């Protein structure tokens, strides 16, 4: 995303100098947010251990270009480029692309965690390839003997 001083003034209604706009954007870009999320690690067998992770991320990264300066070196006009390459920025872009279409019923949160993950990944999230799930595609999967999926698949065929 790119804009200049005059666009910033027009959109915000603030009468700031170019250096004040730059300082405001730099201070905003330096703010860090703490993201807390669970991480599942598989131990021996089918046992999973849940760890709480904390990660700090900024909302965006900022690049400043000088477009117009006086003879004495004072910059009068700047162009700003905002990059949403941070984790928090990517989450923001994902929400914009999803357009809040993934509204969930409150009953969703009573499902087991694995069902919630499956629902979010396979049915809601827009950046994953579409996964066709039907009898034909499931029968093409190579299940290993001894797994619950293999046994339930064999039961369904009988």
pLDDT of the chain, 158 residues: tens digit per residue: 899 999 999 999 999 999 999 999 999 999 999 988 888 787 877 788 888 888 899 999 999 999 888 899 888 899 999 999 999 899 888 877 776 565 667 777 788 877 777 777 666 555 545 555 565 555 554 444 444 444 444 444 44
What distance lies between CA 13 and its chain's CA centroid?
Answer: 30
Per the structure, the complete domain to which residue 115 belongs is given by 2-157
Q: How many domains does the chain have?
A: 1
DSSP string, 56-104: EEES-EEEEEEEEE-TTS-EEEEEEEEE--SHHHHHHHHHHHHTT----
pTM: 0.55
């Amino acid at each position: 995303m790119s804009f200049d001083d005059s666009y910033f003034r027009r959109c915000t209604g603030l009468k700031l100098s170019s250096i004040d706009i730059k300082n405001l954007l730099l201070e905003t870009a330096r703010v860090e947010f703490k993201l807390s999320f669970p991480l599942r690690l598989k131990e021996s067998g089918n046992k999973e251990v849940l760890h709480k992770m904390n990660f700090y991320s900024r909302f965006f990264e900022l690049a400043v270009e000088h477009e117009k300066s006086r003879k004495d070196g004072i910059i009068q006009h700047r162009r700003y480029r905002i990059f949403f390459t941070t984790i928090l920025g990517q989450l923001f872009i994902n929400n914009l692309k999803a357009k809040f279409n993934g509204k969930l019923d409150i009953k969703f949160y009573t499902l087991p965690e694995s069902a919630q993950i499956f629902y979010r990944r396979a049915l809601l999230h827009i950046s994953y390839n579409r996964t066709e799930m039907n009898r034909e595609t499931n029968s093409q999967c190579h299940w290993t003997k001894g797994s619950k999926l293999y046994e339930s698949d064999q039961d369904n065929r009988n």
